[in-house]
Every structure is written in structure tokens, then in C-alpha cells.
Amino acid sequence: MKEFDAIVIGAGHAGCEAALALARTGNKTLLLTLSLDAVAFLACNPSIGGTAKGQLVSEVDALGGEMGVNIDKTMLQIRMLNSGKGPAVQSLRAQADKIEYHNEMKKTLENTPNLYLRQGEVIDIICDEVTEEKIVKTAVGIEYKAKAVVLATGVYLKSRIIIGDYTKDVGPNGFSNAQMLSDSLKRLGIKLLRFKTGTPARVNSRSIDFSQLEIQEGEKDIQSFSFITDEKDKKELDQTPCYLTYTNLKTHQIIKDNLDKAPVFSGLIKGVGPRYCPSIETKIVRFADKERHQLFLEPESVKTNEIYIQGFSTSMPVDVQEDMVHSLKGLENAEIMRDSYAIEYDCIEPTQLNPTLEIKGHKGLFFAGQINGTSGYEEAAGQGIIAGINANLYLKNQPQLVLKRSDGYIGVLIDDIVTKGTNEPYRMMTSRAEYRLLLRQDNADLRLTEVGKQVGLVDEKRYNIYLNKLKQIEEIKEKLAQRVKISDTVYAFYEQNGESVPKESVSIKDMLKRSNIDIFKVNELLKIFDGYSRDALREVNIMTKYEGYLNQQQEDIEKSLKNEKIKIPEDFDYFKYHGLRHEAAEKLAEIKPLNIGQASRVSGVSPADIAVLSVLVKKHLKEK
């Protein structure tokens, strides 16, 4: 039997981050995957980031993860979404070269010390609750032993694809699935759910009439996902365009005429699908008043002609799919290269997890990614790095890391799924984060680099980049106190920017508080910030413009942290004391919240229950 410190099962986006975190902190780590060709595979949309997801990528990066570094190396195009709105909802999204993204991540894994990559199907996990050792068995009879195991199996557990009335027991893209691991988890007493997702057709770019489509170019001079990416590298990127088209009344009629053939309505699909990323047939039924839906045509790689039709996911029969595609403007003669399909899979009920992503009842067994009921590469990577960090801390017998909701989107994501659970594939959105103005993409390094340093993932190079940014920010902030006299040039500057001219000298800080004036315009006028990085200048600009709102959110956080500090003992008996409603006691006993703050977010627990619980916890501690 081969022995390791830790074993990670699954080499998708969660598994890659978990394995790298473990290996980089000195643990002999085995990464098992069903197929080496599926490492960090972008099975659905060929992109990284998006609304709220961009924040997750930058948080993974700030902690010392790899996703941000990898997409910066392999992107085809980058854009800032919601750039016309406030900074709280702005998120980066990049088109990835699907082939290069996989190649680069696999190369990183292969060249990481302490990390061993192995192809094989895991069929059983045996947990010794006394020694806390786990035995991982593969289909070909190899057994591995480790004290910590991270399951990051994605959508491969008993997965099957569905196209019309055709089904096949495989994973995404036709990769092999894991047929026996679900039963092993059941034997460990772990409750499973059945979820569903889907992917659209890929068409040959040579068969598309791009002259009829709206072009979508990339952007330059915006931040990268990774805080250690050199700005020069990004500016030299030769960006590949995407294109925009729409469904139409003909498309909608084809779908309506064939709804009886749609597995999502016929009952063939049993799994619960994502509400925020529905199939096109679901959209047509749900939004019957809409005359069209926006679709993006996105290249998968510079090494293939395959084009991904974003927003056109379906599980209709192939003949209906072809009619649907040919009804679209610019795609009248499109050649389908890969059919759309839905995919069903097993995942776990995430309320069985602690906020550390360790499963309750089995020390050293962690779960990350879509097996936890989430959707998306970015959500998976965020969980993966936390599971890897905590598996390392568990091995070293150190307190594990719990990110609070006020620390980052990763904290919000994990708190949501382990406290409230989910009845559909969970997707991160900015609206889920109550402190989103503080949890911006641009300041993820300021929030989490110190955390990454403490857990051993942030190296000296990254840490020095962070310290240099902090130093620049402080120097820039000091310069804001300087006053500017109202000369003819300054007078003209205010008028050109549509702002009323001050009657007397004004500080640079007050200049920045004007709606139409930012730090970059001020620097063009005064040349006072030359030599400082664009990232540091952007940071000070946001801090200054939104100072009042940021201070208010910080006050709100400090109030909420009072409840987070009241710990609930592991042995607390919710049924022992009178005063707590039975329904609330049942919910709390099931979730086992770590503190009063988490308890207050459990579904079905009222503010009155929390008031009673606070008193009972204090009474319990006093008795002990």
C-alpha cells in the first residue's frame, strides 16, 4: 500500500487548487483523476470570471492559488463587466484558450514538488475513525493510505448525459465517469443529492457569417486576475474578438413546437438544474413575453475552429438542435461539431460540512467544488484552495481557517452552502454579499494576502509585490492633502469635466470626490502621481470617492462580528434547555453552527431563537 500525507480525488478546478495548496505547504500529495486529459478542463463555457466570479478568482490568487495566474497566461480576451456601474459590482471576465488552459495547469501540477499526478478511478474510501487514516481504493486494485483526503469530483459521480431520449453514463465531453464512489459515500453516512447542468453546441467558425453579427472586442489597460501578473504582458496580448447574436421568434417557435421532446419537461431529467443558468427551452417557457435572448459566440481556442454558443444550452434531440441553431442570424449554415447535452450527477448535501469544508463525523475528510452542490469553475477553485489549506492545517494539528462573510466572496459562498444548504446548483452573485463594496475585485490582495502568508502559500515574491502596493497607497494618500490653487488651467479643467469651479484653493482629496473627476484625470493635470502603479492609484481613487460608504460598511461588519465571537461549544445540547423552539433546536443540531453569528443565518431560526440561544450558550459555559 502506497502512503501519502494527503490525497486529492479529482483534478478539476477545485482539485487543482487543493492539491497545489497541500503540496506547496510541504505535504506529500497524490492527485488522482479519472483522466489526465481532463485536468483543469473547461467542460462548459471557455471563460474564467464574470459577475461575482471575477472576485472569487482574485481572492484565490491573493491566497496564493493558481487560477488567476493560469488564466492570465492563457486568455484570448479580457473585459471588465459592469464598468458603467459602481466598483462593488465590477468583475473581470476573460475568454480562455481552452486547450492552453488545460496544458498550462497540467504542466504546473507536474512540476510542483511533493505533488504526484496519477490517472485512476476511485471506487471506495475507508475511514478509520480511531487512527483518522483513510484508505483510498481504485478500480484497478491499487490502494493508497493518507490521513487527509479532499474529494473534488465535480460532476462525475454517477453522471449521465442526456440528448433528447438518448442517455449515456459518461462525464462531460464524453470522459469516463465514477460509477462506484457514490455508494462508498453513502456507506460513510453521507447524504447525496442529484443535480443537473448543461452545455450548448459547438459550431465550426468557418460556417458562420460573422458579417451579420455584432463584434465584441476585448479591453486594455484594465487590471489582471492575478496581482503578480506583469502589466506589460497583458498589454502585449493580441485579443481575439467574440460576437453577439440573438434568438428570434422563429427560434422560439421551433422550441415551443418540440417541448414534448425536451427531457427537462418530459420527465427524463430527474436532477435539479441551475435557476440562474437555465436551458434555452426553460428560458422560452419561463420568459414567454420576451421576443429574443442574447447569445455570445466565443472561440474555444486558437488551435481549433470550435465556437461556443453562450446562452444556448439545451438537451433537445439533435435534429431539433440543428433547426434551432440554423434559425439564428449569422448561423443559417452553421455546422454543428459537438451537440448540446444536459448532464445529471450526484453531489452531497453541503450542510453536512463544517465551514472548514471538513465533513462532520469524519476527521480529515474534506469536500470541495461541484460535489458540494455549487456550479462554476470559480466557485470550485475558491472551495478547493480552502479545503487544501485546511487539510494542511489538519495534518499539522493547527487551527483551521474559516473565512468570514466580511473577508471575501469565498467566505460568503462557503457560509451560504454549509449554513443554508442549496436545493439547486449554487452560483455566486454580487447580491449574495452584503459587504460587496468592501469585497471588490481590485482589493482582494489587500484583504487576503496576509492570510495566504500565514498559511504558507504566499511566497516572498508575491508578498513583496503586496507590500510595495501598500507602500504606494500610503504615499498617494499623503499627497491627497496637498492643496491646488484655482489657476486658469485648473478652472478650465473643472469646466471641461462638467464640474462647478471652487471659489478658493482645494485639496486633491476634495477634487477626487467630484463625480466626473478621478485620480487619473488629476494626474494628467498635475503630474503628481507619476511613477505609481495603476493598481495603487485605482485603489486610492475608490477609497476616496466611496469613503463614507466604506466606513459605514466597516461599522456594520464590526457590529455583526460581535455575534461571530460568541462560540458555540461542540458538545452543546440544543434540546437540554427550555426556551428554544423545537424546530429551531432541530435545525441547529443538524447544522451545528460554530458561533451565534452562523446560527442566526440558519434557515428557520428566528431572531427570537437567537436571543434565547445566546443566553443558553452563556449559561452552558458558566455551568462548565
Task: Please write down the HEC assignment for all residues of 417-479.
Answer: HHHCCCCCCECCCHHHCCCCCCCCCCCHHHHHHHHHHHCCCCCHHHHHHHHHHHHHHHHHHHH
pLDDT at 99: 97
Where along the chain do its domains lie? 2-198+345-443, 202-341, 477-548, 565-623
Residue, of 446 and 238, whose pLDDT is higher: 446
Highest CATH level, class, for 2-198+345-443? alpha beta
Q: Do domains 202-341 and 477-548 have the same CATH topology?
A: no
List the alpha helices (DSSP H) in 267-403.
Answer: 280-286, 318-326, 377-395
Share of the chain above pLDDT 90, in %: 86
Of 588, 465, 480, which is closest to residue 540 (Cα–Cα)?
480
pLDDT at 231: 66
Mean pLDDT, rounded, for 541-562:
93
Cα separation, 104 vs 71, in Å, equals 9
Question: At 265, is the pLDDT very low, low, confident or very high (cuts 50, 70, 90)?
Answer: confident
Share of the chain above pLDDT 70, in %: 99
Please say whether the beta carbons of 401 and 25 come within 8 A: no
18-32, 186-200, 253-267, 330-344: which has the minimum mean pLDDT?
253-267
The owner of cell 449521465 is: 160
Cα-based distances in Å from 190 to 193, 203, 571, 581, 593: 10, 41, 21, 27, 18
209-218, 523-532, 571-580, 593-602: which has the minimum mean pLDDT?
571-580
pLDDT at 240: 93
Residue, of 562 and 385, whose pLDDT is higher: 385
**Which grid cell sits at 20?**
497545489
Highest CATH level, class, for 477-548? mainly alpha
Instruction: Give the list of residues 6+ apart from residue 60 with CB closer than 8 angstroms, or none.
Output: 17, 66, 67, 68, 378, 381, 382, 385, 410
Please say whether the beta carbons of 45 and 298 come within 8 A: yes
pLDDT at 621: 83
- In this structure, what DSSP letter does residue 274 have? P
pLDDT greater than 80 at residue 276: no
Per residue in 482-499, pLDDT (tens digit) is: 999 999 999 999 999 999
26-35, 269-278, 358-367, 541-550: which has the minimum mean pLDDT?
269-278
Per residue in 90-122, pLDDT (tens digit) is: 999 999 999 999 999 999 999 999 999 999 999
Per residue in 448-469, pLDDT (tens digit) is: 999 999 999 999 999 999 999 9
**Which grid cell sits at 419?**
449554513
pLDDT at 624: 72
Mean pLDDT, rounded, for 340-358:
97
pLDDT greater than 90 at residue 364: yes
User: What is the SS3 string spanning 176-214?
Assistant: CCECCHHHHHHHCCCCEEEEEEEECCEEEHHHCCHHHCE
Looking at the domain 565-623, which fold is it?
DNA polymerase; domain 1 (1.10.150)
pLDDT at 72: 95
Cα separation, 412 vs 320, in Å, equals 40
Residue, of 231 and 517, whose pLDDT is higher: 517
What pTM value is reported for the model? 0.95
Please say whether the beta carbons of 382 and 225 come within 8 A: no
Mean pLDDT, rounded, for 432-436:
94
- In this structure, what DSSP letter does residue 273 have? P
Question: At 233, is the pLDDT very low, low, confident or very high (cuts 50, 70, 90)?
Answer: low
Please say whether the beta carbons of 223 and 535 come within 8 A: yes
Per residue in 293-323, pLDDT (tens digit) is: 999 999 999 999 999 999 999 999 999 999 9
pLDDT greater than 80 at residue 234: no
Q: Which amino acid is at 412?
A: V
pLDDT greater than 60 at residue 235: no
pLDDT at 278: 87
Looking at the domain 202-341, which fold is it?
Elongation Factor Tu (Ef-tu); domain 3 (2.40.30)
| β-bridge partners, 295 | 245
pLDDT at 560: 87
Per residue in 37-71, pLDDT (tens digit) is: 999 999 999 999 999 999 999 999 999 999 999 99
pLDDT at 273: 79
- In this structure, what DSSP letter does residue 12 have? S
pLDDT greater than 90 at residue 176: yes
| β-bridge partners, 126 | 135
